[in-house]
């Protein structure tokens, strides 16, 4: 039987809504992109909060990670600074996120590995296994409604 996402995976918008990027029951491995933007004028960083669950409010879901996206121009109006995020979901709740600050630039990759109370040596072994696993498969694009552009709150 093919693996599927047991929970929806997504992010929190600036007002706390849960924006589903990879829906529950999506075949794995999967990928889907969303563009995020600043929510206020002169915002120099964004808080990217990743969640797993089914509630419409992000905080009612299971938190996976908080990532700080930074380096935006101080004098930009809200919505001017944009980042394309590509979510890659694999079996065992392994998630990678590719960040692209400018079209044509290579993605910067962030791995999210749910691993509580592991030693540094165990984490390193787990990272190696995740890298091996994710290199062997090509995630399929997930279709669905247009996610539009999501505003993220400052850190």
- What CATH code is carried by the domain that includes residue 15? 2.60.34.10
- 144, part of any domain: yes
- Percent of the chain's residues with pLDDT above 70: 95
Tell me how many domains the chain contains. 1
Tens digits of per-residue pLDDT, 64-96?
888 889 888 888 999 999 999 999 998 877 888
**One-character DSSP codes across 7-26:** SEEEEE-TTSBEEEEE-TT-
- Report, as an integer, the average pLDDT of 8-19: 96
- 2, part of any domain: no
Can you tell me the distance from the alpha carbon of 101 to that of 91, in angstroms, rounded to the nearest whole number? 27
- 153, part of any domain: no
**One-character DSSP codes across 72-130:** --TTPPTTTSEEEEEEEE-GGG-EEEEEESSTTSPPEEEEE----S--HHHHHHHHHHH
- 3, part of any domain: no
Residues with Cβ within 8 Å of residue 127, at least 6 apart in sequence: 111, 113
| Parent domain of 102 | 8-148
- 27, part of any domain: yes
Q: What per-residue confidence (pLDDT) applies to 49?
A: 93
Read off the pTM: 0.85
- 98, part of any domain: yes
- 23 closest CA partner among 4, 43, 45, 36: 4
- 154, part of any domain: no
Tens digits of per-residue pLDDT, 15-53?
999 999 999 999 999 999 999 999 999 999 999 999 999
Cis, bond preceding 29 (omega within 30 deg of 0): yes
Task: Name the pLDDT band for 116 (thresholds 50, 70, 90).
Answer: low
> Could you count the other beta carbons within 10 Å of the beta carbon of residue 146?
6
User: What rounded mean pLDDT belongs to the chain?
Assistant: 87
Can you tell me the distance from the alpha carbon of 109 to that of 11, in angstroms, rounded to the nearest whole number? 16
């Amino acid at each position: 039987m093919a693996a599927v996402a047991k929970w929806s995976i997504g992010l929190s918008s600036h007002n706390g809504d849960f924006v589903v990027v990879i829906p529950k029951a999506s075949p794995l491995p999967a990928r889907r992109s969303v563009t995020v933007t600043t929510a206020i004028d002169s915002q120099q960083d964004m808080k990217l909060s990743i969640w797993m669950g089914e509630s419409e409010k992000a905080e009612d879901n299971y938190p996976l990670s908080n990532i700080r996206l930074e380096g935006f121009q101080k004098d930009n109006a809200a919505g001017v600074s944009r980042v394309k995020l590509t979510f890659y979901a694999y079996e065992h709740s392994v998630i990678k996120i590719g960040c692209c600050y400018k079209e044509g630039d290579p993605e910067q990759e962030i791995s999210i590995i749910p691993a509580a109370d592991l030693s540094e040596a165990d984490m390193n072994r787990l990272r190696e296994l995740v890298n091996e696993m994710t290199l062997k498969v090509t995630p399929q694009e997930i279709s669905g409604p247009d996610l539009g552009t999501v505003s993220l709150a400052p850190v």
